[in-house]
Structures are given as C-alpha cells and as structure tokens.
C-alpha cells in the first residue's frame, strides 16, 4: 500500500521556521502517548475547491506524518449534502496528488460512519445525555443566548430517554418534516463556551447525498461527526485551524462520553490569510456563481486548481507553506512571498524562449548581405553547453511596440530613429526609417543589420546597451496570451464587508490575441513551464494546448512592489 514515504522529497528550504506541531508529536513519541504511532488526517468538506489555505494544512498533515514515518488519511467530512458534490471530491483528490502527496488506500468519508454515529447517538440518548428538541432554528438561537446572555433550557430538555429514543427513530424514518426537530447533546445550556450549550447533533434534512443517495433524511452535524471519525480511524493528532479551538471542549466531551475505540486529541494552528486575496469559500463560490471569474479553476483564483492552471509549481507552494511556518498567531501573509517562491522555483526549471506580445514589424533592408537563417540558442543562458533550440531568422521580424520610441528620452536603450540595439542571439540593427499608417500610427521600422555582428558582438568593440527579444515573422507561431494579475487591488478586500467586490481589479486579466512566438514552442509539452525572455513565466492553458493559448504565471519581477514604491515617493 502506498504511504507517505513514497512522496518525493522537496528541495530543502533552508529558512524553515520552527513548528510547534512537530514539537508536540516528538514529545508524544518520547512519552509513548500513542505508542510509536503518528496518524494524521486531512479532512476537507467537499463543498468547494481547495485553496492555498488548504495547501498549508495538506503540507502540515502529510509532512508531519512523513517526517515521523506515520500515516495520513484523506477523509471527506461529507455531512452537509445540500452543499456537497462529487465534482468537489474529484477536484480535491486531484489537488492533493498534484501537490505531491499520496494517501494510498487510506481514503475515507464521514458517511462511511453514518451507521456507527447513529448507534452512538442512541447510546447518548440511553445515557440521558442527548434529547430530541422541537424548537425551531430561530427559537433554538434565542434559547442558546450569546456571549453576553446566558442560555435558557429547552422546554424539551427533560424528556425521558424512552421518549427521546422513540422520537429519534421516527426522525430517522422520515415521519417529521425538515427542520421540525433536532437531536441535541445534553451538556450545559449556560456554559460560557457557546459550543457546549446543548449543541445540535442531528437535523432533519431531505437532501440527496453524493454517496448515500436518498437513503437517509437525518444528517449528523460536523462537530458530532468529526471527532468520532477521528476516533474510528485511530487518528493521534487531529490538526485543525484556530477557529476550532473553542470547539475542542465539545470534541473532547463527545470522545469522553462514548465507547470509542481510540482517544484522539485536537491541536490548532493559525489559518493562512493572504493579502490581495479572499479565502472564504462563500466568497469564492459567489465569484463563481456570478460569473465574475472563469469557474473555480480561473488562474486568478486562490484555489490550488487555479494556481496549477496559472503555472504555479507544486514545489513552490510546498516551499511557501514551509517558509511561513505554523503558529498560534493569526497570519496575514503578503502574497508577494508566495510569488517569490514561485519565481524562485521557475527560475531554476523554466526553459527560455522568445515571444512578442504586442508586435511591431521590423524589416531588415540589407538582409541579402548576410546568410543568417537561424541561431542556436540555449534553453538556459546560464548553461550555454546545455540543451538548446534553433531560433530562425529572416528579413522581417517582430519586436515589441513598447521597445520603440520615436522621440526617445536621453537614457533610452531600446529602438529609436538612428539608434542601434542588439537582437538577442542574432546581431546589431539600426533603425533608419519609421513607417506610419493613415492614422499616424507606427506600423513598421526599416533597419539595417551590421553583417559583422553575428551573435550580437560589435566588431569594433563599440558599446550597444540595449538588447531586444524578437521573433521571425515568417516562422512565428500565432497564439493567444492571457496576462493575469491579482484579482483584487485592495490589500484586504474582506475588510470592506459587503462591499468587498468593489475591490476587484479590472486589469486582472488582459487577453492578447495576436501574440507571435518562436516556433519551437509548438513542440513544448503542455505542462512545461517556460520563460518568455524579458516578459515573464508562462504555461500553456489546460484548455488550449499545442501552443495555442499561454497563461502568464508571473512577471520576472514583482511589478506591484515597484508600483507601490513609486506611489510612496
């Protein structure tokens, strides 16, 4: 059976911070708290796609188990059928595998335990520790009170175990309408911890379940199913995010009052929050449903699927999760740290090519004076002896429009009338003539090539400071290029409350339909990350392989940091 030890090791992150969860596991192993076992689980609810915050939990749960030769279960806490779909289950499994983790045969579902959970619910009823309540949801909220107001006892709290057992079985058999009754734990309706004020264990809900179909009409609540699923699976370290810290006494109460086969323990860490991002599943679902993005896999989304489609390497996400560490303090991590890790990995693995996004025609007027048909160019300029490709050359080329100014400033090192520049890998050209259309737009540059400058070196040692990327017009590959940027232009869009959508960045997607790419890109595998020299890192979109559609992963530098620096001056 595959286990965590089969997962490939990452590049070592030297600045990995300390991890208090690892310290707890080490201490438990030294004390023999769970013998020599370490068993963690990643327990997503299949009600949406995973996002970068889940990636932190995945890396933590699988990473801790792998470090201590333990096991990690993938368990779907599928207790709310009205919001869960098989699509989400499939996407979650794909994302976890893509991140580099394998749960082997250890795939479980809370729905696997519905029968056992029901039996334990009857056990609590028989012990006088659970009762059927007829209060409506609104009445229940009123009786529960709040942080400033003590709770009130339900008028149904003192029903006998016999009466409760009869009512609960009739709930199970579909005798009562949805929402008319609940099963509640009989704990302490005035406890300062709201989670212990007779929490609901079951509700009546006639909804189709993606695994059990229409078999049942009562479903367990998350807090009731979660800890007992851990107990059934023999989990030693139930690692949750910090919002579940107040739920831990309830987690422990259920375990202590049931004949469970194992006693798990819950530990909490701070969830991940990223700047310029929303992480709420409710908000992400709203973006999808209102067609404000191209589904859950939109490359601007913070979902793992979206990041994969955009070209973020799995190793970069793992490195990021390790670098930010695990703590009890709420984290608001700058998204530029994630982008740094992406660039750090892509710089090592992405082969270099040339592409022109906003093409301007350049005609070499003296092309007949040379026999240059192409140049051997390395895929990694730092390894000139490594793999290479042929970049074809012809009398008509494309360069970026932004690389030309008719009236250039003094320190302009790119094309301008009378100015000489270097074409990457090729030679030196000088702009002699500017051709415009009827509207006065520049449509062509006529340039001469120095026949003695093959390879880009000036024959007489003169300094040529500007170097441009280019593509041969005759051989160019036509492609669509999608330029992605941050989805929000506010550092904390969630802080805007109901107005959070106003922070969406209108420039988060720009589609270039007439990009010209060097022809070697037609043969690049769809999953290969590439660098377009001077332009950024790109990957072919999963919906348009064979060199037709490319997504920009990131620019070569953090353009936002430059913008913010200029704004502060």
Is residue 239 located within the same domain as residue 388?
Answer: no
| Tokens standing for residue 567 | 């704004």
Residue 450 located in a structural domain: yes
Show which of 339, 370, 386 is a domain's final residue. Answer: 339
Provide the CATH number for the domain around residue 259: 3.40.50.620
417-451: pLDDT as tens digits:
999 999 999 999 999 999 999 999 999 999 999 99
Q: Tell me: do 556 and 509 sit in the same domain.
A: yes
List active site positions.
Answer: 45, 271, 281
Number of domains observed in the structure of the chain: 4
d(CA 223, CA 122): 17
Q: Assess whether 213 and 134 both reside in one domain.
A: yes
Is the CB of residue 107 less than 8 Å from the CB of residue 2?
A: no
Q: Give a yes or no: residue 193 inside a domain.
A: yes
Beta-carbon contacts of 166 under 8 Å, excluding residues fewer than 6 positions away, are none
Tens of pLDDT, residues 352-392: 999 999 999 999 999 999 989 999 999 998 888 899 999 99
One domain for residues 367 and 278: no
Determine, yes or no, domain membership for 67.
yes
- Looking at residue 243, what DSSP letter applies? G
Instruction: For the chain, give the mean pLDDT.
Output: 93
Nearest to 294 by CA among 546, 85, 544: 544
252 falls within a domain: yes
Judge if 231 and 331 occupy the same domain.
yes
pLDDT value at 108 more than 80: yes
pLDDT band at 12 (very low <50, low <70, confident <90, very high): very low
Per-residue pLDDT band at 14 (split at 50, 70, 90): very low
- Residue whose C-alpha is closest to residue 233's, from 41, 4, 36: 41
Q: Is the pLDDT of residue 501 over 60?
A: yes
Query: CB–CB of 321/56 below 8 Å?
Result: yes
- 344 within some domain: no
Strand extents, DSSP E, 81-199: 107-109, 130-133, 182-185
Residues composing the chain: 569
Q: Name the 3-class secondary structure at 398.
A: strand
Q: Is the pLDDT of residue 558 over 80?
A: no
The answer to whether residues 333 and 275 touch, using CB atoms and an 8 Å cutoff, is yes
Classify residue 321: in a domain, yes or no: yes
- Per-residue pLDDT, averaged over 548-563, amounts to 80
Phi, psi of 562 (to 5 degrees): -65, -45
State whether 533 and 501 are in the same domain: yes
In a domain, 308, yes or no: yes
Q: Are residues 62 and 208 in the same domain?
A: no
Query: Which of 339, 363, 392 lies at the terminal end of a domain, its last residue?
Result: 339
pLDDT given for residue 4 in this prediction = 37
Which residues face 435 on adjacent strands?
A: 444
CATH for 162: 3.90.800.10
Do 211 and 242 sit in the same domain of this protein?
no
Judge if 400 and 547 occupy the same domain: no
Domain check: are 28 and 167 in the same one?
A: no
Domain extent for 451: 353-472
Q: Which of 69, 91, 57, 68 is nearest to 3 (CA)?
A: 69
Which pLDDT belongs to residue 331? 74
Give the Cα-Cα-Cα angle 399, 403, 409 (nearest 5 degrees). Answer: 155
| pLDDT tens column, 154-209 | 999 999 999 999 999 999 999 999 999 999 999 999 999 999 999 999 999 999 99
Contact call for residues 377 and 388 (beta carbons, < 8 A): yes
| 266 falls within a domain | yes
Helix, coil or strand: residue 213: strand
Tell me: do 465 and 482 sit in the same domain: no
Structure-token pair, residue 220: 């367990």
Residue-level pLDDT at 546: 55
| pLDDT above 80 (res 5) | no
pLDDT at residue 371, as a whole number: 85
Same-domain status, 250 and 390? no
Q: Which among 257, 146, 143, 238 is positioned nearest to 200, based on CA atoms?
A: 143
**Percent of the chain with pLDDT strictly greater than 90:** 86
**Mean pLDDT score, 478-503:** 96
* pLDDT range class, residue 499, cuts 50, 70, 90: very high
CATH number at residue 374: 2.40.240.10
Helix (H), strand (E), coil (C) string for 190-210: CCCCHHHCCCEEEEECCCCEC
Sequence-ordered strand ranges (E) for 107-170: 107-109, 130-133
- Which domain-ending residue is among 189, 222, 255? 222
């Amino acid at each position: 059976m595959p286990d965590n030890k089969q997962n490939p090791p990452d590049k070592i992150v030297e600045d990995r911070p300390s991890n208090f969860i690892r310290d707890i596991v080490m201490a438990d192993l030294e004390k023999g708290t769970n013998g020599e076992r370490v068993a963690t689980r990643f327990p997503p609810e299949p009600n949406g796609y995973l996002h970068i915050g889940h990636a932190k939990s995945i890396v933590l749960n699988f990473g801790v188990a792998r470090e201590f030769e333990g096991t990690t279960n993938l368990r779907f806490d599928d207790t709310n059928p009205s919001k869960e779909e098989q699509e989400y289950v499939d996407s979650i499994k794909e994302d976890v595998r893509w991140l580099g983790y394998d749960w082997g045969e250890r795939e479980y579902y809370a729905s696997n335990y519905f029968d056992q959970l029901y039996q334990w619910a009857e056990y609590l009823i028989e012990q006088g520790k659970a009762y059927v309540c007829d209060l409506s949801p609104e009445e229940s909220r009123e009786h529960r009170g709040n942080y400033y107001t003590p709770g009130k006892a339900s008028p149904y709290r003192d029903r006998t175990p016999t009466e409760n057992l009869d009512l609960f079985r009739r709930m199970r058999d579909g005798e009562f309408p949805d929402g008319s009754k609940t099963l509640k734990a009989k704990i302490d309706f005035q406890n300062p911890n709201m989670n212990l004020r007779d929490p609901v264990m079951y509700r009546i809900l006639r909804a189709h379940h993606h695994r059990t179909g229409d078999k049942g009409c009562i479903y367990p609540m998350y807090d009731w199913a979660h800890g007992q699923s851990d107990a059934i699976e023999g989990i030693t370290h139930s690692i949750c995010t910090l919002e579940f810290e107040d739920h831990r006494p309830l987690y422990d109460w259920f375990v202590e009052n049931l004949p469970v086969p194992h006693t798990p323990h819950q530990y909490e860490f701070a969830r991940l929050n990223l700047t310029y991002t929303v992480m709420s599943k409710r908000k992400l679902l709203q973006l999808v449903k209102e067609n404000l993005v191209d589904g859950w896999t939109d490359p601007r989304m913070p979902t793992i699927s979206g990041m994969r489609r955009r070209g973020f390497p799995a190793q970069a996400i793992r490195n990021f999760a390790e670098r930010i560490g695990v703590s009890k303090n709420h984290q608001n991590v700058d998204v530029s740290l994630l982008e740094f890790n992406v660039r750090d990995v892509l710089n090592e693995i992405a082969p270099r090519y040339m592409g022109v996004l906003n093409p301007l025609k350049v005609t070499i007027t003296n092309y007949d004076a040379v026999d240059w048909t192409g140049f051997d160019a390395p895929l990694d300029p730092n390894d000139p002896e490594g793999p290479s490709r042929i970049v074809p050359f012809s009398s008509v080329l494309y360069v970026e429009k932004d690389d030309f100014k008719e009236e250039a400033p003094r320190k302009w090192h790119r094309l301008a009338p009378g100015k000489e520049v270097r074409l990457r890998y090729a030679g030196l050209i000088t702009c002699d003539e500017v051709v415009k259309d009827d509207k006065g737009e520049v449509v062509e540059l006529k340039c001469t090539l120095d026949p003695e400058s093959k390879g880009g070196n000036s024959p007489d040692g003169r300094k040529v400071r500007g170097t441009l990327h280019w593509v041969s017009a005759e051989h160019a590959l036509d492609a669509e290029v999608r330029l992605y940027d941050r989805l929000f232009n506010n550092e904390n869009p969630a802080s805007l409350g109901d107005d959070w959508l106003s922070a969406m960045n209108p420039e988060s997607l720009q589609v270039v339909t007439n990009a010209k790419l060097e022809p070697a890109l037609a043969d690049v595998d769809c999953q290969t990350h590439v660098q377009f020299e001077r332009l950024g890192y790109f990957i072919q979109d999963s919906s348009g392989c064979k060199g037709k559609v490319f997504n920009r992963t990131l620019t070569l530098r953090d353009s936002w940091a430059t913008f913010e620096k200029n704004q502060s001056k």
